Amino acid sequence: MKYPGRMLGEVLAHLGAKPNTIKYPYEPAVVQAGLRGKIKFFAEKCIGCKICEKDCPSDAITVNKLGDKRFECIFDLDKCIYCAQCVDSCPKKALTVTNEFELAQLDRHKLRFIFHAPDAPPAPAAQPEPPAAKTA
Amino acid sequence: MSKITIPIGPQHPALKEPASFKITLNGEEIYSMDMRLGYNHRGIEKACEERSFIQGLYLIERICGICSHSHSTAYIQALEELAGLQVPKRGLYIRTLIAELERIHSHLLWLGVAAHEVGFDTLLMYTWRDRELVMDHLAEIGGNRVNYAVNTMGGVRRDLTPDEIAHILKDVDTLEERTKYYAQVATEETTLVARLSKIGYLSQTDAEFLGAVGPTARACGVDRDVRRDDPYAAYGDVQFKVCVDHHGDVYGRVLVRVGELMESYSIIRQLMKNMPDGPIAVKSPRRIAAGEVYSRYEAPRGEDCHYVKSNGTDKPERVKIRAPTLANWRAVRKMIEGNYLADAPIIIAAIDPCFSCTDRAIELVRPAGAETLTWGALRQHGIDWHRKQGLDFAELNKKLNTQLGRVK
């Protein structure tokens, strides 16, 4: 039967309902486990083949050789489109994807992310250092 | 009464993307409409030629923010055809699943936008809330709400777990319930029916003559759907009905899209039930054999066509994209004639336009007439034009590199 106000019941039912939105900056956001966020680099696994550099659609990765089997990786997060193709391309699984997504910065220099090479081969991956210091 | 011409756009508060419409009015009635596109030209086709096939895939995906999977699938199908890759069945099923999830979120989004254009914002809020269920699944499967990046050459990048399948099926049930309710509202709410009926009418003959595609054409009685006529991915294995309506107006377009939503739920259930086991992708080469392929795909907005020509290297020689919106613009010109000016927004919104997906070529309009430029001439024109405005990119680049410490 056709008559106006067909949604009235539905609208009234929503009066007492909880909101469907969350107050995001004040409450934590719901993040899916599979979200492609910031890329993590494990320097000890890298063999320096540079396939990630070649496959990156936005030239966001630079891998530098610092010494024998020692590689550092520089990520330009302002260029990265978070497609995670580098993760798929890496033959040694030296790159993984995390679901860290709160990466906005007011200072462009802070978007340059350097994963330092390990000092000695058995040492674990160094912690990333936010402020960029040196040139590529 | 003398005719007056009203320019709308390119920058206009009611337009989400820049496009210019010149509407000639006879009183309150639209006599004719002229449009100018090209304000969103991004040079994607040319940029694809300078990137490898796999890099180009991510660029192609960014043509459209709503049907990103449509463009990437159309492109990747062309590449797989050229390279002679046999995608595993499970890969094809997952690809089809994402395609249908995308159709659901796109149609729900359109339903909300259309409701908003006619001042029915309650429906906008409800459909956009329901759409979030699909967006969450897309983010979980692909890794992003918008650019799912599920496709890769030779298959898909991510597999589905049984948990995810059960979760998706549960949400599909919820969505079906909601869609049934919207279908009921759309057919029984007299204010909505009266507002949308006989608005933007297009006859079947005109739809065929003007080359309309997708729901716009199907709402005029054109029984055409690439999924059925030329099955790709896993569409050959599923049963579904092509929704055709004979109203020919905006109301018909609502009915077709709501009908397609119901079909999408049925397709997803069939895919989940028959999902084969096995690998999701095969290894792909970096270089692709020389040749050319024309690939078709039924995007939520209509038929999306990609042409890819390879010369045997790891980069395409030519990529040509025809987004569905481009095929529908001529139909808009026809269907807007004779309507009131106040109906223009809903008529334009009824084809679900995507302005920036459409802009593939630009013509330079000078006082002497239109002129088509070569790539080199266009580049020089851009440099000269900006220099005249006091912007020198060579200088700016130098400055930026010094600031970032990249000077060698």
CATH number, domain of A54, equals: 3.30.70.3270
- Asked if A2 lies within 8 A of B132 by C-beta distance, the reply is no
Question: Most A CBs within 10 Å: which of B48, B52, B54, B287, as the mutation test of the A interface?
Answer: B54
Contacts 24+ apart (CB under 8 A), A14-22: A20/B129, A20/B132
- When pLDDT is averaged across residues A100-110 and rounded to a whole number, the result is 89
A67 within some domain? yes
- Asked if A85 lies within 8 A of B54 by C-beta distance, the reply is yes
pLDDT band at residue A126 under the 50/70/90 scheme: low
A4 within some domain? no
Using the predicted structure, report yes or no on whether residue A121 has a pLDDT greater than 70: no
Domains, chain B, with CATH or none? 4-36 (no CATH), 44-358 (1.10.645.10), 364-403 (no CATH)
Question: Most B CBs within 10 Å: which of A1, A2, A77, as the mutation test of the B interface?
Answer: A2
Shortest CA gap B182–chain A (Å): 9
Euclidean distance between CA atoms A30 and B79, whole angstroms: 36
A123 within some domain? no
Residue B24 forms beta bridges with which residues? B5, B32
Euclidean distance between CA atoms B205 and B210, whole angstroms: 8
Question: CB–CB of B110/B131 below 8 Å?
Answer: no
A79 within some domain? yes
Q: What integer pLDDT is reported at residue A135 of this predicted model?
A: 47
Between A32 and A122, name the one with better pLDDT. A32
Range of the domain at A87: 31-115
Q: What integer pLDDT is reported at residue A120 of this predicted model?
A: 59
- Asked if A55 lies within 8 A of B52 by C-beta distance, the reply is yes
Euclidean distance between CA atoms B230 and A76, whole angstroms: 43
Q: What integer pLDDT is reported at residue A1 of this predicted model?
A: 58
How does B137-170 read in b/e, with b if 16+ C-beta sit within 10 Å? bbbbbbbbbbbbbbbbbbbbbbebeeebeebbee
Mean pLDDT over each residue of chain A, to the nearest integer: 84
pLDDT band at residue A134 under the 50/70/90 scheme: very low
- Amino acid, res. B375: W
A8 within some domain? no
Using the predicted structure, report yes or no on whether residue A9 has a pLDDT greater than 90: no
Using the predicted structure, report yes or no on whether residue A10 has a pLDDT greater than 50: yes
Reported as a single tens digit per residue, the pLDDT across A40-91 is 999 989 999 999 999 999 999 999 998 888 899 999 999 999 999 999 999 9
Question: CB–CB of A121/A68 below 8 Å?
Answer: no
Which residues in chain B have their CB less than 8 angstroms from residue A5's CB? 189
User: Which 3 state secondary structure label does DSSP give B126?
Assistant: helix
Nearest Cβ partner for B188 among A2, A33, A34: A2
pLDDT band at residue A98 under the 50/70/90 scheme: very high
Please give the full DSSP string across B45-86, using - where no structure is assigned: HHHHHTS-HHHHHHHHHTT-SSSHHHHHHHHHHHHHHHHT--
Cα B284 to chain centroid distance, Å, stands at 27
Q: What integer pLDDT is reported at residue B238 of this predicted model?
A: 95
Residue whose C-alpha is closest to residue B92's, from B31, B18, B150, B164: B150
Using the predicted structure, report yes or no on whether residue A136 has a pLDDT greater than 50: no
User: Which 3 state secondary structure label does DSSP give B311?
Assistant: coil
Residue whose C-alpha is closest to residue B232's, from B277, B281, B296, B283: B296
* Range list of H helices, B239-392: 250-273, 324-336, 344-350, 355-358, 375-388
Q: Is the peptide bond before B10 cis (omega within 30 degrees of 0)?
A: yes
Residue whose C-alpha is closest to residue B351's, from B207, B243, B244, B147: B207
Please list, in sequence order, all residues whose beta carbon lies within 8 angstroms of the beta carbon of residue B356, skipping any fewer than 6 positions away.
B17, B40, B42, B63, B64
A16 within some domain? no
Euclidean distance between CA atoms B10 and B131, whole angstroms: 30
Shortest CA gap A118–chain B (Å): 24
Nearest Cβ partner for B189 among A7, A20, A135: A7
Please list, in sequence order, all residues whose beta carbon lies within 8 angstroms of the beta carbon of residue B337, skipping any fewer than 6 positions away.
B30, B31, B32, B33
User: Into how many domains does chain A fold?
Assistant: 1
Which residues in chain A have their CB less than 8 angstroms from residue B191's CB? 4
The pLDDT profile of chain B, 408 residues, written as one tens digit per residue, is 689 999 988 888 777 888 889 999 999 999 999 988 888 888 899 899 999 999 999 999 999 989 899 999 999 999 999 999 999 999 999 999 999 999 999 999 999 999 999 999 989 999 999 999 999 999 999 999 999 999 999 999 999 999 999 999 999 999 999 999 999 988 888 888 999 999 999 999 999 999 999 999 999 999 999 999 999 999 999 999 999 999 999 999 999 999 999 999 999 999 999 999 999 999 999 999 999 999 999 999 999 999 999 999 999 999 999 999 999 999 999 999 999 999 999 999 999 998 888 888 767 777 777 777 787 888 888 889 889 988 888 888 888 888 877 765
